[in-house]
Amino acid sequence: MNLISESNKVNTQDETLFEKLSKVENFKLIMPQNVSKFEIIDSNSFIFSIKGIPAIKLKIGEKIKPSKIILESIESKINFTLTAFISVFDSETCSFHLEFDGDLNPMIQMMVKTPLQSFINDLSNNINNLI
């Protein structure tokens, strides 16, 4: 299953946004309001919970400066990635969106598609909280 968030314009340079997203503690600033728990595990990983959903652990995997950061699920029944894409808009502005890519069976996919789409849209829409 592949889901793509809304794209958002951010009033900062692509490299600045990339550096902020390279620090796991900054993900707390873009989490939606329904996140009930956010804990940093180490400098590359964190865990969070959304009401009604088991805790999710993510680690920063591949980073391609300044355009892409891939978060990978760890210790999860479902393997997935959440990739942040940053593109230059002009000299002082960039655009940002997220892509979820996971191998889910059709039954799970039916149950989580709508809340997952909402979640990644919320993350993307909250990106200006980092500025």
Q: Residue 30 falls within a domain, yes or no?
A: no
Does residue 72 contact residue 61 with C-beta atoms inside 8 Å?
A: yes
pLDDT above 70 as % of the chain = 99
- Give tens-digit pLDDT for 56-81: 999 999 999 999 999 999 988 789 99
Instruction: Tell which residue, 44, 114, 104, has the closest CA to residue 80.
Output: 104
Q: Residue 27 falls within a domain, yes or no?
A: no
The pLDDT score that the predictor gives to residue 117 is 95
Q: How many domains does the chain have?
A: 1
Q: Residue 31 falls within a domain, yes or no?
A: no
Range of the domain at 77: 2-22+61-130
Q: Residue 17 falls within a domain, yes or no?
A: yes
Q: Residue 108 falls within a domain, yes or no?
A: yes
The pLDDT score that the predictor gives to residue 76 is 82
Q: How far apart are CA 48 and CA 62, in angstroms?
A: 20
Q: Radius of gyration of the chain from Cα atoms?
A: 14
* Tokens 């000299």, located at residue: 91
The pLDDT score that the predictor gives to residue 56 is 92
Q: Residue 88 falls within a domain, yes or no?
A: yes
Predicted structure pTM score: 0.95
Q: Residue 91 falls within a domain, yes or no?
A: yes
